[in-house]
Amino acid sequence: MPAFQTTPGMRDVLPPESARWRRFVDVYAEVVEGAGYGQVIPPLMEDIKVFARVGDATDVVTKEMYDFVDKGDRHVALRPEQTASVCRAFVQHRPATPWKVWYAGPNFRYEKPQRGRYRQFDQVGVEVLGANDPYLDVEVIALGWDFYRRLGLRQVTLLVNSLGEPDDRARYVEALRAHFTANLDALSADSRTTLTKNPLRVLDSKRRDDADLIAAAPRIRSFYSDTAAAHFETVVAGLGALDIPFTLDPTLVRGLDYYRRTTFEYQGGTLDSAQNALGGGGRYDGLVEALGGPATPGIGFALGLDRTLIACDDERVFAVGDTGVETFVVDTTGGLEALTITRELREAGITCDRAYENRSMKSQMKGADRSGARVAIIVGTDELERGVVTVRPLRGADEQSAVARTDLIDSVRKALS
């Protein structure tokens, strides 16, 4: 074993898999930028209080943060998610509303590593600050949906719920507390602890012993005020108008105190049910205020890269494309020809690689093979003396030909076409 390895939950992403990661973000950027969202790149690290504002009823904030005191005595944390950073940026820079932004990048959570769960993991997301329109909820939900479709996924399901207005939600929480407290004996030990912190989160329990009690729990629907009910009806009708299939799931809650009204989650059809959430989001109010800004409604989602790529593997879509170069230069005359020819090709927009250390023809041709190139450009002493290069197609039945050095670019273009 080498002396140094990545620490638990951390990974190196190597080629060609790294190309897939980048393409994932490229596809995502195309979808959201096509809808008028601009990219925001928040720092990886913030004052820990920025994240603490997200609420203390969640493990992400209470147990899993990578935090430390820096050399200037500031208590900082690596971001465990990006919504709080985006809201902090909104308060700091006061952009015009609605502020429609997207992000992509790593987050850090000190979790127990397992398949699809790491301590550094990437998410892509959107946030819209400053608009309360229910059709915006539909737009945001549809963007996530369309992104999965664009990747080629066909077995994603969408769950939708509404948590009502803050007052509705508060009354509902009390009803849940009463329901679970009256049946404490039937509740798992973990859920009893959750109950003391946030009764809503008990609905998140995937434990079989809790299932009956959760099924018998009061439903949020009967707590909706007229405005909450109207907002949700419009969202549901909007999804219908876009032909986006979804399931109403009254137990879908976002644990954070700031979430209200619309919540949603995308699940991977091929993934194990305990880990099948590909991403999710919802409406939140109050977060911008908690960070020192004016009352501002917000909505957004965060989609995990890892589980989405696992789902892609399961559905055999979004495979790593051919990331190799188009051409490969073989030079057995010392390497100066390879040096100048690769430069010429690259300047002409033709991708190319080469061999080094003046190896034998056979060894260099092996390199050409490995590179995935379709055309080799070969220079030996004979070619050098005659002022030509040999252009050799590496796939297909075409013959190689000697072409004048001055015709290099045109000949290579022809061989590639």
Q: Is 200 in the site for ligand AMP (CB under 6 A)?
A: no
User: Which CB, 43 or 334, lies closer to ligand AMP?
Assistant: 43
Piece in contact with ligand AMP (CB under 6 A), picked from 33-41, 110-118, 151-159, 283-291? 110-118
For 246, the token pair is: 């979804």
Interface pick for ligand AMP out of 35, 52, 67, 117 (rule CB under 6 A): 117
Interface pick for ligand AMP out of 123, 161, 198, 371 (rule CB under 6 A): 123
List Cβ<8 Å contacts ≥24 apart for 111-118.
111/9, 111/64, 113/8, 113/9, 115/275, 115/310, 116/271, 116/275, 116/304, 116/306, 116/307, 116/310, 117/9, 117/275, 117/306, 118/9, 118/10, 118/11, 118/306
Interface pick for ligand AMP out of 133, 249, 306, 344 (rule CB under 6 A): 306
Transcribe 68-129 into DSSP letters: EE-TTS-EEEE-S-SHHHHHHHHHHH---SSEEEEEEEEEE-----BTTB-SEEEEEEEEEE
User: Which CB, 315 or 344, lies closer to ligand AMP?
Assistant: 315
Determine the Cα–Cα distance for residues 192 and 395; give it in Å rounded to an integer.
65
Piece in contact with ligand AMP (CB under 6 A), picked from 115-123, 135-143, 343-351, 352-360? 115-123
User: Which CB, 307 or 354, lies closer to ligand AMP?
Assistant: 307
- Of 198, 249, 257, 191, which Cα lies nearest the Cα of 220? 249
Q: Can you say how many angstroms the Cα of residue 78 is from the centroid of all Cα atoms in its chain?
A: 17
Q: Is 121 in the site for ligand AMP (CB under 6 A)?
A: yes
Q: Is 307 in the site for ligand AMP (CB under 6 A)?
A: yes
Q: Is 279 in the site for ligand AMP (CB under 6 A)?
A: yes
Amino acid at 176: L
Interface pick for ligand AMP out of 31, 45, 278, 341 (rule CB under 6 A): 278
Question: In the bound complex, what is the minimum distance in angstroms from residue 208's beta carbon to ligand AMP?
Answer: 22
Piece in contact with ligand AMP (CB under 6 A), picked from 109-117, 139-147, 158-166, 199-207? 109-117
Residue 278 phi, psi (nearest 5): -85, -30
Whether 116 contacts 275, CB under 8 Å: yes
Q: Is 77 in the site for ligand AMP (CB under 6 A)?
A: no
Q: Is 283 in the site for ligand AMP (CB under 6 A)?
A: no
Contact footprint for ligand AMP (CB under 6 A): 81, 109, 111, 116-118, 121, 123, 277-280, 302, 304, 306-307
